[in-house]
Structure formats: structure tokens, C-alpha cells
Amino acid sequence: MSVPTWLPLEANPEVMTKFVSSLGMKPSWQFGDVYGLDTEMLSMVPRPVCAVLLLFPITEKYEAFKQEEEERLKTQQLNVPTDVYFMRQTIGNACGTIGLIHAVANNLKHLEFESDSALKKFVDRTCKMSPQQRGVSLETDESIRVTHESSAQEGQTEAPSIDEKVNLHFIAFVNVGGQLYELDGGKPFPILHGKTSEDTLLEDAVEVCKTFMARDPQEVRFTIIALSKDSY
């Protein structure tokens, strides 16, 4: 069976905010760029921050690290709490939308939704499913697919064709129960990065983002986006 493929989503905070708004999330929280990693630049990001998205290049160095990480974690006892909402990616180029779903689904207590929100309905419908079942369920969610498609064509750069190979990938960082989780639909399970808090999520997530950058110091194709209360 061929894998369904969508147009890739651009790392554009305005497009992302419009995307989730179109799916019924109220705009009291919005996505915005993180322009730098030093203390001064991070202090410019509106607070609180409830999720951080990272767009990064998939390189040979990253693929080697990912394989090593997976093998190492398989030998450990992984006890992921059931309240961590995690889904596998079963759709090509859907990592942007899955990153948004990860950001939203793990922050329902903070976010507000319209009564007929297609995004909230999807999370509610899939909350008891396995990560794989959630990914498959996304394949048949017409509201999210159509919104993704229109959003993918709204960016500042021309969207590549569906068949064009995209070597950039979105992941999300969230705080669940005081723990920092990396949620990547291309991995078999969430990655725990230690303790965090509502006050320090941005800084803690950025420290992990720095390790991605350190693995590929020649690369410049990194983008960090925060989901913050109120607008930029």
C-alpha cells in the first residue's frame, strides 16, 4: 500500500496560528518565532509558553543519531504516562500538522476552543487510541486534511509538489506533569528530556534544540517557534 502524502507545511507562525484557528482553537494563544537562543532574545518571547516547535534538517548525522538513540532507549524501561498525547506519523510530509496536534493535545487545560472545533473533536476522539491508531485516524480526518492543504499553500515560499522529497522535519516539545517531552511522529515513542516547568519550558526546550544544532554545525536550516499566550 502506498503511504498517503500531503504538501509540507511551512515554518510560518502566522500560517500555523491561522491553521489552528480555522480548526476551532481560539486565538488567545498564538505561534511566534523565536529569533535567537541567548537570554536577551528569549526574554522577548511572550509568556507563558506552553509548547515549542523545532524545524530541522534530516541529515546523515541526524539519521545516525536517531538510530543509535532508538536502540539505546529500547533497552531501557520506558514508562510514558498515559496523559502524554503522542501520535505516529503515517502520512508523508504531515510532520508540521502532527507537531501542531502534539502542541495542542498536550495543553488542553490552557487552550480554548469553539464548541464545534474540528481539532478538539479529533483529540477527544483519539485520546484513548494507540499512537499508531491516532496516526491512521488522521489519514481520514477530512477537516484537518483540507485545512492542512490550504495552509501549506499560504506560506511565503512556494510549496513543493507532493512528490518532491522534503528533508526538513517538525517536532514538538511540551511539558506534561513537570517533565519535558520531545514528540516526534517519526520515532516510536516520546523522548523524555528531564524536568521542566511552565516558567522554564522555553529555555529547557531550547537547550535540547541546541543539541540538534550542535550535531550539524554547518547547517543553518533550523527554525524554533513558540506557542505563547497573547500575540507577539
Domain boundaries, the chain: 13-229
Cell (9 digits) for 70:
532508538
> What pLDDT, on the 0 to 100 scale, is given for residue 162?
45
Rg of the chain over Cα atoms, rounded to whole angstroms, equals 17
**pLDDT averaged over the chain?**
92
> What pLDDT, on the 0 to 100 scale, is given for residue 159?
47
Which position has the higher pLDDT, 141 or 162? 141
Q: What is the mean pLDDT of residues 44-64?
A: 96
Q: What is the mean pLDDT of residues 75-94?
A: 90
Q: What is the mean pLDDT of residues 193-208?
A: 98
Q: Judge if pTM exceeds 0.85.
A: yes
Cell (9 digits) for 169:
522535519
Task: Please name which of 111, 138, 87 lies closest in space to residue 227, comparing C-alpha atoms.
Answer: 111
CATH number for the region 13-229 comes to 3.40.532.10
Q: Is the pLDDT of residue 25 over 80?
A: yes
Torsion from C-alpha of 85, 210, 79, 98, nearest 10 degrees? 20
Q: What is the mean pLDDT of residues 117-124?
A: 98
Q: Is the pLDDT of residue 156 over 70?
A: no
DSSP 3-state of 126: helix
DSSP 3-state of 101: helix
Least confident of 5-9, 14-18, 162-166, 210-214: 162-166
Task: Please give the Cα distance from 32 to 52 (Å, whole number).
Answer: 10
Q: Where in the sequence numbering do the catalytic residues fall?
A: 95, 169
Tell me the pLDDT band of 157, cut-offs 50, 70 and 90: low
Which position has the higher pLDDT, 161 or 169? 169
Q: What is the mean pLDDT of residues 61-68?
A: 94
Beta bridge pairs of residue 218: none
Cell (9 digits) for 114:
469553539
> What pLDDT, on the 0 to 100 scale, is given for residue 76?
77
> What pLDDT, on the 0 to 100 scale, is given for residue 3?
82
Task: Please give the Cα distance from 60 to 45 (Å, whole number).
Answer: 32
